[in-house]
Amino acid sequence: MSKFFAAPSDESSYESSEYSDEEVKVNKDLKGVESSDEDTKRVVKSHKDKRLEEIMSIIEKIKNKQKIIDMSGLLIEFETMTRCYDKSKNVFELSGVPTFYTRCLVQLEDFINDTWNDKKLRETFSKTKAKGLAALRQKSRKYFKNFSNEMEKFRLNPVYSSEEELEQIADESNKEDYNSEESSEEYTDDSSDGSWESSDNANSGESSDENLAARFLKKSDKDSKPEKKKLKKERKEKRSGVADSFDWAVVKHGMLTTEKPKMFEKDAVISLENVLSKINELLSSRFKKSFGEADKFDLMTELREIASSHNLGETIDLKILLSLIICLYDQNKASYLKSEYWQKYLNCVENIFEILNKSTIKVSIDIPERDEEYNNKENLRIKYCLVSIVEQFDEELNKILQAMDQYSVDYINRLKDDKKLVKYINDLIVYFSNEMELPVDGNLCRTYYIWIRQFYFKKPENDEIYSNFEKYAKFIYNHDCHNDIKVKTALCHIYFLSVSDKHTIAKEMLLMSHLQHSIINYDISIQVMYNRALVQFALSSFRHGCIMQAHTALVDMMSGMRIKELLSQGISHLKYNDKTTEQETIEKKRILPYHLHINLEIVESIYLICAVLIETQYMASKEFDLKRRTISRNFHYILKYHEKQLPGPVETIREHVVQATKHLRFGCWQKCYNLLVNDYMDKKIWNLFEDSKQIKEMLKYKIKEQALRVYLFSCLSCYENISLEILSGQMQLDFKKTYAIVAKMILNDEISASLDQPSKILIVHQTTQSDLHIASLQLSERLHMLCDINERLCEQKVNGNSNHNSK
Q: What is the pLDDT of residues 368-378, one digit of tens each?
A: 888 888 877 77
Give, in degrees to the nearest 5, the angle at Cα 550 between 545 and 556. Answer: 170
User: Looking at residue 263, what is its pLDDT?
Assistant: 67
- For the ranges 263-267, 421-425, 693-697, the lowest mean pLDDT is seen at 263-267
Percent of the chain beyond pLDDT 70?
A: 75
For 797, residues 6+ apart whose C-beta sits below 8 A from its C-beta are none
Q: What is the pLDDT of residue 535?
A: 95
805: pLDDT strictly greater than 80: no
Helix (H, G, I), strand (E, B) or coil at 69: coil
- Give exposure, 471-486, as e/b (b: 16+ Cβ within 10 Å): ebbeebeeebeeeebb
Decide if pLDDT at 22 tops 50: no
| Stretch (H or E) spanning 38 | helix 2-39
Q: What is the mean pLDDT of residues 348-372?
A: 87
Rounded Cα distance, 218 and 44, in Å: 12
Query: For position 292, what pLDDT does the model report?
Result: 60
645, pLDDT greater than 70: yes
- How far CA 713 is from CA of 277, 578, 667, 692, 760, in Å, comes to 87, 47, 10, 31, 19
pLDDT at 254 over 50: no
User: In one letter, which amino acid is 294?
Assistant: A
* Domain limits, the chain: 47-174, 275-439, 600-718
Buried b / exposed e over 718-741, threshold 16 CB at 10 Å, is: eeeebebeebbebbebeeeebbeb
pLDDT for 201 beyond 80: no
Q: Which of the listed ranges 228-237, 271-280, 477-486, 727-736 does the model predict with the highest average pLDDT?
A: 727-736
Angle at 319 between CA 316 and CA 320, to 5 degrees: 90
Who wins on pLDDT, 306 or 626?
306
Whether residue 163 has pLDDT greater than 70: no
Reference 639, options 617, 621, 615; nearest CA is 615
What pLDDT, on a 0 to 100 scale, did the predictor assign at position 176?
46
- Model pLDDT for residues 465-487, shown as the tens digit of each residue: 999 999 999 999 988 767 789 99
Compute the distance between CA of residue 718 and CA of residue 725 in angstroms, rounded to an integer: 18
Q: Which of 241-255, 392-406, 616-630, 636-650 has the lowest mean pLDDT?
A: 241-255
Residue type, 800: G
* pTM (predicted TM-score): 0.65
Give residue 609's pLDDT.
94
- Distance, in Å, from the CA atom of 537 to the CA atom of 549, rounded to the nearest integer, reads 9
**Residues 155-181: what's their mean pLDDT?**
52
d(C-alpha 279, C-alpha 261), whole Å: 14
Q: For 378-394, write each residue's pLDDT tens digit.
A: 778 888 888 999 999 99
**pLDDT, mean of residues 749-768:** 82
Half-sphere exposure (Cβ direction) of 186: Cα atoms closer than 13 Å: 6
Report the pLDDT value the prediction gives residue 770, as an integer from 0 to 100.
Answer: 67
pLDDT score at 18: 42
Residues of the chain with pLDDT > 90, as a percent, come to: 27
Q: What is the pLDDT of residue 53?
A: 83
The residue that leads in pLDDT, 89 or 510, is 510
> What single letter denotes the amino acid at residue 125?
F
Whole-angstrom distance, CA of residue 141 vs CA of residue 143: 5
For residue 363, the cross-strand partners are 382
What pLDDT was estimated at residue 234?
Answer: 66
* pLDDT tens figures, 135-150: 888 888 888 888 888 8
Stretch 600-611: mean pLDDT, rounded? 93
**Residue 21: its pLDDT value, please?**
43
The residue-averaged pLDDT of 21-28 equals 42
Residue 5 has pLDDT above 60, yes or no: no
Q: End-to-end CA distance of the chain, in Å?
A: 132
Q: CA 143 to CA 108: how far, in whole Å? A: 12
pLDDT recorded at residue 327:
84
Strand runs labelled E in 384-531: none
Give me the residues paired with residue 723 across strands.
761
Confidence of residue 443 (pLDDT cuts 50, 70, 90): confident
Q: How far is CA 707 from CA 656, 696, 711, in A?
A: 17, 16, 6
pLDDT at position 510: 93
Closest CA to 386 of 420, 354, 362, 411: 362
pLDDT at 466: 93
Q: Is the pLDDT assigned to residue 507 strictly greater than 90?
A: yes
Give the C-alpha separation, 220 to 149, whole Å.
42
Stretch among 46-55, 176-185, 505-514, 637-646 having the lowest mean pLDDT: 176-185
Residue 244 pLDDT > 60, yes or no? Answer: no
Q: Is the pLDDT of residue 731 over 80?
A: yes
Q: Where are the alpha helices (DSSP H) in 145-161?
A: 148-156
3-state SS assignment for residue 281: helix
560-581 tens-digit pLDDT? 778 888 999 988 776 666 677 7
Average pLDDT value for the chain: 79
Pairwise pLDDT comparison (748 vs 191), residue with the higher score: 748
More confident residue, 579 or 126: 126
Average pLDDT of the segment spanning 312-334: 84
- Beta pairing, strands 753-756 & 761-764: antiparallel
